[in-house]
Amino acid sequence: MNKEVRVRFAPSPTGYLHIGGARTAIYNWLFAQKTGGKLILRIEDTDLERSTEESISGIMESLKWLGVVWDEGPYFQSHFIKEHQIAAQKLLDSGHAYKCFCTKEELEHKREKARKNKTSFKYDGACRNLTFEDIAKKVKAQIPYTIRLKVPLKQGSVVFKDIVYGAIERKYEDIEDFVIVRSNGRPLYILSNAVDDTRDRISHVIRGQDGLINTPKQILIYKALDSPVPEFAHMPLTLDSKKAKISKRKHGESVAVHFYKDHGFFPWAFVNFMVLLGWSTSDSRQIFSREELIEAFSLEGINRSNSIFNIRKDDPKFFTDPKAISINEHYLRNLPLEKIEPYIKEELKKTKIWNPAFEGEKHNWFLDTVDLIRSRYHVFTDFGTLGRAYFSEDYPVDPKPLKKNILKHEELKVWFPILADRMEAIEVFTIEETEKVIRNMAEEFGIKAGILINGTRTAVTGQAAGPGIFDILIAIGKNRAADRLRRAVKYFAA
């Protein structure tokens, strides 16, 4: 029982990696990490019409971004079709399978009839008992045939113990003789998958709950092939806020892993969020480091009910599940600066306001500034938008605070240049000194300091809110701040 743990993630490359697939990959990876086992990446590309090269590289890129590293592969299922066919032949030879000459049309007709009568359709086994002569005759006549597995006719059931769902039982009589090889000779997923898992010596199959219903069929294949049956762990599905299965077609980009990369998520924060969708520890811990998560993870902690991924659209702050955002915020605020620095750098490069000096002579300033503003941001992209004024001279001014904090007070037209002069006159530009200047000026002119403070904030950062004004002034610097104050006068002209 203490055999080597080998798990696999086996996506079909028909699009980008979406959160359902990502979660499956993460659980497999965690289990491998936890047990010292191996994770195998297998691309199930037997559906040649829908599989694309682009999708394969996209999936691998997303996995890498998440930090899900695999130990073997990628293997390609399409390379092993011969092997699957040999397995089918073996099943035929051993009497576990038979050739079925029923045509698609015949079957569709029977299915249609069943639908009309509101009864369930199950293949009736028409070809199961053909005589040798019949079969030989039909084969000779080149009538195409599929290969079906013989499901035991006797009373009884397939029973297995799912690590998550417990004992699962399915009666033989509820399982039809299912097709394992198409009439064009191409094996079906249900066969290929079992054969591949055997070859890859997979010890645990960890997959979505939608695979649960197939499991009894696959166990029948394993047994007929005399192969060891792996352990199974099915995990609940992730549904959308309308409780529908998440799909690329319906939800588009917002369920794609790369969407979160593009929207400024810290990859580990996203992993942390996703792992909590259907799994938890008994102390309901929320935040895990990589090491803590691997230590805490267990398949038994996976729960059995589906969870909802709360996608919100058209909400500027919560453009996705609020919990995902909040976990990202947590990391954004609490991680050591050098951990998040590369992500911010990438973001500033993307928005074309990156300056190599930020990691050179201005490095300390850069880190201090990031530290100053990060507590009010949600994702890395905010540094290139909301934080633009700190890193670039070219920044937008929000019209609302412009009106409220600047234009409303006509006298600022006069006061800004005076304040600019006084700022420049400060020898040692510190929080204490800037504060002194602003407060003294307010007193001298008989105005509320708030007017000067809020006006200055908007003039210097373009925004209504932000850090304390004196912190801002230090971060922006004496000359830049003075320049911006003088330039702000032009808002009154328009």
Stretch that binds RNA, among 129-137, 239-247, 263-271, 337-345 (CB under 7 A): 239-247
User: Using alpha carbons only, what angle is made at residue 491 by residues 489 and 494, rounded to the nearest 5 degrees?
Assistant: 125
Can residue 465 be called a binding residue for RNA (CB under 7 A)?
yes
Q: Which of 73, 125, 301, 417 is close enough to bind RNA by CB under 7 A?
A: 301
Tell me the C-alpha distance between 320 and 261, whole Å: 13
Bridge-based pairing state of the strands 179-181 and 307-308: unpaired
Q: Which of 112, 174, 295, 393 is close enough to bind RNA by CB under 7 A?
A: 174
Stretch that binds RNA, among 260-268, 289-297, 307-315, 347-355 (CB under 7 A): 307-315
Q: Single out the residue of 315, 321, 336, 337 nearest to residue 272, CA to CA.
A: 321
DSSP three-state, residue 307:
strand
Stretch that binds RNA, among 67-75, 187-195, 339-347, 356-364 (CB under 7 A): 187-195
Which residue type sits at 49? E
Can residue 56 be called a binding residue for RNA (CB under 7 A)?
no
Stretch that binds RNA, among 126-134, 236-244, 341-349, 409-417 (CB under 7 A): 236-244
Map the footprint of RNA across residues 59-78, applying CB under 7 A: 77
Q: Which of 160, 211, 223, 413 is close enough to bind RNA by CB under 7 A?
A: 211
Map the footprint of RNA across residues 122-151, applying CB under 7 A: 122-123, 144, 146
Can residue 474 be called a binding residue for RNA (CB under 7 A)?
no
Q: Which of 120, 355, 430, 479 is close enough to bind RNA by CB under 7 A?
A: 120
Can residue 392 be called a binding residue for RNA (CB under 7 A)?
no
Can residue 81 be called a binding residue for RNA (CB under 7 A)?
no
- Residue ranges of alpha helices (H) inside 183-256 are 189-199, 215-224, 248-251
- Residue ranges of alpha helices (H) inside 257-311 are 257-262, 267-275, 290-296
> How many Cα neighbours within 13 Å face the side chain of 436?
10
Can residue 155 be called a binding residue for RNA (CB under 7 A)?
no
Tell me the C-alpha distance between 285 and 183, whole Å: 52
Q: For residue 248, indicate whether it is catalytic.
A: yes
186 Cβ neighbours under 8 A, 6+ residues apart:
46, 81
Can residue 385 be called a binding residue for RNA (CB under 7 A)?
no
Map the footprint of RNA across residues 419-458, applying CB under 7 A: 439, 442, 448-450, 453-454, 457
- Residue ranges of alpha helices (H) inside 374-448 are 381-385, 388-391, 399-401, 412-425, 431-445
Can residue 161 be called a binding residue for RNA (CB under 7 A)?
no
Can residue 121 be called a binding residue for RNA (CB under 7 A)?
yes
Structural contact between residues 103 and 179, judged by C-beta atoms closer than 8 angstroms: no
Question: 325 vs 159, 274, 459, CA distance in Å?
Answer: 42, 12, 30
Which of 354, 462 has the CB closer to RNA?
A: 462
Choosing from 122, 138, 150, 248, which is the catalytic residue? 248
Q: Which of 333, 339, 349, 400 is close enough to bind RNA by CB under 7 A?
A: 333
Cα dihedral: 96, 101, 104, 106 (round 10): -110
Which of 107, 335 has the CB closer to RNA?
A: 107
Which of 144, 417 has the CB closer to RNA?
A: 144
Give me the active site residues, please: 248
